[in-house]
Amino acid sequence: PPGPGGPTVVPDGRAMASDQQVADARHAYHAACNRYESTGFCDCVTAGVAQALAPAEVRIAARTIGERIPAQGDAASAGGTADATPNAQNSMQRIEQIEGHYADACQQLRR
């Protein structure tokens, strides 16, 4: 179980899926990110997101990135509903948490 107030991070996307599934999800996320941000920022965020989220969540993040990434660092997004992750935390909450963390860490590379 997660510690109080701490993020719940999946050990590695490849622990739950094949290298090809991880790569496919990562490429989709990176392509979606590039519609909104610089390549350097997207390289940075994609590396963290693909490592910390399951490929299914990375694909959800890719489809919904335009709802979050332009505002990351400004305020938390209102979120939506999605499939629950194995630890019963809502996928959109995990995506927002992980993506927000890496968007902050990669801030200097933004457009």
Over the stretch 20-38, which tens digit does the pLDDT of each residue have?
Answer: 999 999 999 999 999 999 9
pLDDT on residue 73: 52
Question: Under a CB-based contact definition with an 8 Å cutoff, are residues 67 and 77 in contact?
Answer: yes
Average pLDDT over residues 98-106: 93
Stated pTM of the model = 0.73
* 3-state SS class at 109: helix
- pLDDT band per the 50, 70, 90 thresholds, residue 72: low
Long-range own/partner contacts, residues 17-20 (CB < 8 A, 24 or more apart): 17/54, 17/55
Task: Locate 83 and state its tokens.
Answer: 């499939």
DSSP assignment string, 39-99: HHHHHHHHHHHHHHS-HHHHHHHHHHGGGTGGGTTT--------PBPTTS-BHHHHHHHHH
pLDDT greater than 50 at residue 3: no
